[in-house]
Copies of this chain bind each other. A is one copy, B any other.
Amino acid sequence: MIKFKIPATSANIGPGFDCFGLAYSFYNEYSIEKADSMLIEGCDPAFTTKDNIFNVAFNKTMKKLGKTGSYHVHYKPTIPASRGLGSSASVIVAGCRTANILYGGKNKLSDDEIFQIASTIEGHPDNVAPAIFGGLTASTKLNDGTFYYKKYKVSNKLYFTVLIPDFKTSTEMARKLLPKDYKKEEAVTMISHSVLMIEALQSGDFNLLKTVCKDFIHEPYRKKLIKDYDLIKKRVEKNGDAVLIISGSGPTLLTISNDKNFYKKINLKGTKDNWLIKPLGLKK
């Protein structure tokens, strides 16, 4: 048995819609070995079929390696599914890694080659990039069809806490909520906000962060899927010691603060859903 782990990730991170991603020190752990036939176990039986993304990713990677063979994998997901924490990107990257570790031999694929395969399967590179490279990433698809990422180091003056509710949302549904058009002022503001959000996260400039961590693309529409959003946002941002954003397409919420103990102050009394408050380090 060989073990490895892949981190949970948040895409978007406020103004970085379909571009930014952040990796946490919160992982799914996978135990793998070579086998005569494919077997996925430990997780929900719905995720153990041949058409599951883990197996799809494994097969795509094997094709790239020019190898044949199969595997057993055991994983008990600790990253909850359909919560906006990149669980599907994590599983895809794990499928790629499994093929690479078990069958790559001396010709193992590079992380960038795995990034290309996994992003193609996922469709977007924004969760895949931090799941592979850690840290804060900005990623996109280039004109030549390949995927590009840039990794940034996040200041250790900032503290991240996710609020995970006990309900799921689908990324597809969340995507359908977005409008067809945006006002000029909104589209223009996203430019400075996204560029300077990278700077705020790198430098830890919390005053800058509070101005630029405002999104007009998805949060005003997707918050409808989260009954407690307005209440929690008001409470979290009340004293100016944190910002609250939606992790990925939700429903997990993410607070960023310059106070290490901010998570202890988060008051979720009276909310309609049940929430888990989880302070998280970043995977560097």
Contact = CB atoms under 8 A, between A and B. Distances in A.
How many copies of this kind of chain does the complex include? 2
Among A17, A138, A182, A187, find the residue whose CB has the most chain B CB atoms closer than 10 A.
A187
7 tightest CB-CB pairs across the interface, nearest first? A187-B187, A140-B192, A19-B192, A181-B181, A182-B187, A143-B211, A142-B211
A17 B148 contact: no
Chain A, interface size category, equals 35 or more
A95 interface: no
Interface of A: 15-20, 138-140, 142-144, 148, 150, 178-184, 186-188, 190-196, 198-199, 207-208, 210-212, 217
Given A138-B199, A142-B208, A148-B208, A183 B180 contact: yes
Contact of A192 (B18, B208, B210, B212): B18
A144 B195 contact: no
Contacts of A211: 140, 142-143, 148
A281 to B, nearest CB: 24
